[in-house]
């Protein structure tokens, strides 16, 4: 009964925001926004094109709401501090028992022998938040040390993982951020199945700041990568990866509207950025792996259906992570998505073969899956 009352209160809160405020009306916000001159011109052009594109209906009200907030913050802090803006999406400081339990259990008998500035105060975080963030980075670092992928730490560039406003600490003389260790831990799960080789083709849906692309391309520079995303994230990952991989051929391909040109663009470039609706222009099964980390549970079901049908068509394998149970914020439909109901909620085909189902190291109520298609 308490859960039902809590759900109804949340639904009322979100419906009131959707129907009687402008907090999720991204198109109207962008039309009236008077501080565009404070944003990078390329970002302004990307948002203009996205709103006019067939991908605009794919963006959930949750991300319309977040984009409004984040664009305002970007005007305040600047693109060079994007880590300060995006940090709260992938780590937080008020852990539930469920979210942190498995992480503690793995390290139950471990001693702390590392040299670490555990009391470092981070810009923009309180002392309490800083200490908890530092502890989380230490916990994940110690788990990473138990894997073979720990050896890849030296390939991860501090200029992209420990700059641009990302909080980081020094452990044993190595700069460690949550992005850096968590990306390697996720990569270690993929790497167990030996899917990726020297010239693999990878598609990532919802790449966020580009941390996983940064990780994989740092480990194997010859992989070809396509990122499918929406603003604001698509610009942030584009900005980050252009700075990180100056030697690569990188193309913002959001204007392409046919199969031949898009597939030709992917062939000629190392790293390509597209909007979601452009997935339908890729007809061949050209990707060895598709990735979707903590983004599918932020989509409405019609979008999920479109994404899954295209992944089925163009990729041989699919790695993704989702919350165990999600009530999609600001959903007019009251969308609920469960990891226990993949076939109906996430449109996972019964013809796919599940190779991995495992809790994430943090938070533990995010589940990782890998399927062969």
305, 344 contact by CB (below 8 A)? no
Q: Where are the domains of the chain?
A: 2-89, 97-176, 185-372
Q: How many residues does the chain have?
A: 373
Residue 222 pLDDT: 95
Helix spans in the chain (H): 2-20, 26-32, 41-52, 61-77, 82-90, 97-106, 127-144, 158-161, 178-191, 211-219, 233-244, 259-268, 301-314, 342-345
Bridge partners (DSSP) listed for residue 152 = none
For residue 111, give both structure tokens. 């001693």
pLDDT of 323-340, one tens digit each? 999 999 989 888 999 999
Span 306-325, mean pLDDT?
Answer: 97
pLDDT at 345: 98
| Tokens of residue 76, six digits | 């305040």
End-to-end CA distance of the chain: 41
Half-sphere exposure of 4 (CA within 13 A, CB side): 1
- Cα angle 224, 229, 233 (rounded to 5 degrees) comes to 105
The pLDDT tens digits for 283-308 are: 889 999 999 999 999 999 999 999 99
Parallel, antiparallel or unpaired: strands 174-177 and 271-274: unpaired
The predicted-structure confidence for 73-123, as pLDDT tens digits, reads as follows 999 999 999 988 887 777 777 888 888 988 888 888 888 999 999 999 998
| Distance (Å, whole) CA 83 – CA 160 | 10
- Joined tokens for residue 247: 């030697």
Strand partners, 251: 272
* Class of domain 185-372 (CATH, top level): alpha beta
Q: Which residues contact 142 (CB under 8 A, 6 or more apart)?
A: 107, 110, 114
């Amino acid at each position: 009964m308490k859960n039902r009352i809590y759900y109804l209160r949340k639904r009322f809160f979100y419906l009131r925001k959707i129907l009687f405020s402008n907090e999720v009306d991204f198109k109207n916000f962008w039309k009236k926004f008077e501080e565009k001159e404070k944003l990078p011109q390329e970002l302004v052009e990307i948002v203009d094109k996205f709103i006019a594109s067939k991908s605009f209906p794919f963006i959930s009200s949750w991300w319309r709401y977040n984009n409004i907030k984040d664009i305002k913050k970007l005007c305040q802090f600047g693109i060079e501090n994007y880590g300060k803006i995006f940090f709260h999406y992938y780590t937080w400081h008020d852990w539930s028992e469920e979210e942190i339990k498995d992480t503690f259990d793995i390290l139950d008998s471990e001693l702390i022998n590392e040299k670490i500035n555990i009391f470092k105060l981070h810009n923009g975080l309180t002392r309490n938040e800083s200490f908890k963030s530092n502890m989380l980075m230490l916990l994940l670092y110690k788990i990473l040390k138990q894997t073979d992928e720990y050896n890849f730490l030296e390939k991860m560039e501090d200029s992209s993982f420990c700059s641009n406003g990302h909080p980081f600490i020094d452990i044993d003389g190595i700069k460690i951020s949550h992005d850096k260790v968590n990306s390697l831990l996720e990569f270690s799960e993929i790497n167990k199945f030996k899917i990726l080789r020297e010239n693999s083709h990878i598609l990532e849906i919802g790449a966020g700041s580009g941390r996983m692309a940064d990780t994989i391309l740092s480990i194997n520079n010859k992989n070809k990568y396509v990122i499918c995303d929406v603003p604001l994230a698509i610009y942030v990952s584009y900005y980050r990866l252009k700075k990180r991989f100056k030697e690569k051929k990188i193309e913002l391909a959001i204007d392409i509207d046919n199969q031949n040109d898009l597939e030709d663009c992917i062939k000629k470039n190392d790293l390509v950025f597209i909007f979601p609706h452009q997935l339908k222009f890729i007809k061949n099964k050209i990707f060895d792996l598709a990735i979707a980390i903590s983004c599918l549970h932020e989509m409405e079901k019609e979008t999920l259906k479109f994404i899954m049908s295209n992944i089925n068509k163009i990729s041989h394998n699919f790695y993704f992570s989702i919350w165990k149970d999600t009530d999609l914020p600001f959903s007019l439909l009251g969308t609920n998505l469960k990891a226990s109901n993949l076939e109906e909620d996430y449109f996972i085909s019964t013809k796919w073969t599940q190779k991995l189902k495992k809790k994430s190291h943090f938070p533990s109520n995010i589940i990782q899956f890998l399927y062969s298609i």
